[in-house]
Amino acid sequence: MNKIAVLTSGGDAPGMNAAVRAVVRYGISRGLKVFGIERGYEGLLEGKLSEYDARRVSDTVHRGGTILKTARSARFATAEGVKDAYEVLTAFGIEGLVVIGGDGSFRGMQDLQHYFVSRGETFACAGIPGTIDNDLGYTDFSLGFDTAVNTVLSALSNIRDTMTSHDRVCIVEVMGRKCGDIALYSALGGGAETILVPEVPLDIEAVVTRIRRNKIKGKNSDIIVLAEGVTDAETLKTLLKDRLGNEQSLRTIKLGYIQRGGAPSSFDRLFASRCAVRAVDILLNNGVGSVIGIKNNEIINLPIDEGLAIKKSFNKELYDIASAISG
C-alpha cells in the first residue's frame, strides 16, 4: 500500500481534527502518502484531494470542527455516485480510505467497498466514529460526545445560577437525535432534576408532580434536561403550562450548535489519536472494511456490517442513578 486518503463526513464533531492529524502523521511515519479529501463524499466526487504533509496538520489537535470541512452528499448516496467516487479514487491511485463520521458515512463507505469488490478489486477502508450523538451501538463512545457533554455541563452551571436567582424552572433542550446519551450524561453530571430521553416514554404528569413536590420542599427552580429526540422545548413548555398555569415560571433554552463546536476534551483527543492509529494499521493490513470504536477503554474494530448491525443500547444503570439522586 502506498497511498491512502482521509475524509470527514456528516455533522462535525470535536476531535475530528485530532483524528485527521494522527492519520496523516502516523500514515507518513509508516511510509504512506496521505491525501486529505475536502468536504466529505461531495469533495471526493469533485476530486478535492491533495497530499498532506505533517506540517499541514500542525496546530490542529486542539481545534473543534474539521479542517477538512464536511458535507452531506445526496449524490454520493446513489449507485452512480459510488461509481463516480470509485473513478476518482482509482485516478488518484488511492488504495485505502479512512472515513470519520457517523452511521450514514459508514454506510457510504460500505457501498464504496462493495463496489470495488463487485469489480473483483479490493479496497481497504476503516471508519472512525465521529459524532456528538453517541448513537452507534458497537462502541461505548463516539468522537465528540465527551466534549459535547462537557459543553452542556458548563451551560447548565450558568443556567442554574439564573434559574435559582429567579425561582424559575428551565427546560434545556440538548442534541442527540434519537439517542438520549447527551441528555443522560449531562443531566446526571449537572444535577438536573428531570431527564427526558427518547428511550423512556414521556410521562408529563410525573414531571408536573416532581415540580410541585420540589416546590413544597422549598425548591423553586428545577432544571429539566430534554433530549431533542423526545420533543422540542417549546412543546414541552406548552404541555407543562397547560397543567401548571401560573403556579410556576417556566423558561426554555435550546443549546443548539454550541454543543457541536469547541476545543475537544482530553478524552476525545486521546480517543481520536488511538482510533487513527488503529485505522492506518487496518489499511496497512488490507483490512476489508472495518469500523473502529472503544469498549471498556480498549480500542476495538469490527467488520462494517457487524458493527452497524449492533443496536444502540440505553444505559439504564446511569438513568436509574440519575433518577434516584435527583430532586
Name the site residues for ligand ATP (rule: CB under 6 A).
9-11, 41, 72-73, 76-77, 101-105, 107-108, 111, 131, 133
* Whole-angstrom distance, CA of residue 111 vs CA of residue 98: 14
Residue 11 or 36: which CB sits closer to ligand ATP? 11
CB of 200 vs ligand ATP, minimal distance in Å: 22
Active site residue 232: no
Q: Which residue is nearest to ligand ATP (CB)?
A: 104
Containing 123, the helix (H) or strand (E) segment is none
- H-helix segments, the chain: 16-29, 40-45, 79-92, 103-118, 145-166, 181-190, 204-216, 233-244, 266-284, 304-309, 316-325
Residue 214 or 290: which CB sits closer to ligand ATP? 290
Residue 11 or 27: which CB sits closer to ligand ATP? 11
Containing 169, the helix (H) or strand (E) segment is strand 168-174
Residue 66 or 186: which CB sits closer to ligand ATP? 66
Q: Which three cell numbers stand for residue 57?
A: 496538520
Closest CA to 49 of 35, 70, 67: 35
Identify any residues that bridge with 5 across adjacent strands, giving them in sequence order: 35, 97
Residue 4, CA distances (Å) to 49, 195, 271 in order: 11, 44, 21
CB of 51 vs ligand ATP, minimal distance in Å: 24
Closest CA to 169 of 198, 211, 210: 211
Residue 64 or 108: which CB sits closer to ligand ATP? 108
CB of 104 vs ligand ATP, minimal distance in Å: 2
* Whole-angstrom distance, CA of residue 10 vs CA of residue 176: 14
Going by their DSSP bridges, the two strands 124-129 and 290-295 should be labelled as: parallel
Residue 77 or 202: which CB sits closer to ligand ATP? 77
Cα of first residue to Cα of last residue in the chain, in angstroms, is 58
CB of 72 vs ligand ATP, minimal distance in Å: 3
Q: Which three cell numbers stand for residue 250?
A: 417556566
Catalytic residue among 12, 59, 111, 133: 133
- Phi/psi of residue 113, each to 5°? -65, -40
CB of 241 vs ligand ATP, minimal distance in Å: 32
Q: Which three cell numbers stand for residue 124?
A: 481497504
Q: Which three cell numbers stand for residue 218?
A: 422549598
CB of 114 vs ligand ATP, minimal distance in Å: 10
Catalytic site residues? Answer: 133
